Amino acid sequence: MHEFSDTSNVSSHSQSDSDVIQSLTFEAQVLHGLKGHKSPFKALIAAEYNGVQVKLVNNFKLGVTNKSPKFLKLNPIGKVPVLETPDGLVFESNAIARYVARSNAGNSLHGSSLIDYVRHFC
């Protein structure tokens, strides 16, 4: 996990552990973004349906937090959302939602066919 993560400063948006059957992730993915905005919300919805643990940082201030030197190490263009994952950083809300949707191999939220896979949910 990237050193920027401060998991004491996050709120949980996950289902119970028993819902996570074959999750590829073993710890919460940390989502940087503004609470209530549609962009991070897509990932949080995918997480709830998929039983993946995603934690949204608290006290995020648009135009302030995302312009800080710490944040710019996560995303040099200073945009949110950004997801910290065991695989690395993910940008773009649709890409993030897809990553979360595919994080649980035991769930077909991401679709079960090629045509499902290429269709966006946004």
Interface with ligand GSH by CB under 6 A: which residues?
37, 39, 62-63, 66, 78-81, 92-93
| Closest CB 67 distance from ligand GSH, rounded Å | 7
- Gap between the Cα atoms of 27 and 1, Å rounded: 9
| Residue placing its CB nearer to ligand GSH in the complex, 50 or 66 | 66
| Closest CB 74 distance from ligand GSH, rounded Å | 12
| Closest CB 61 distance from ligand GSH, rounded Å | 11
- Gap between the Cα atoms of 54 and 41, Å rounded: 11
| Residue placing its CB nearer to ligand GSH in the complex, 63 or 88 | 63
* CB distance 98 to 45 below 8 Å: no
Side-chain-side CA neighbours of 40 within 13 Å: the count stands at: 23
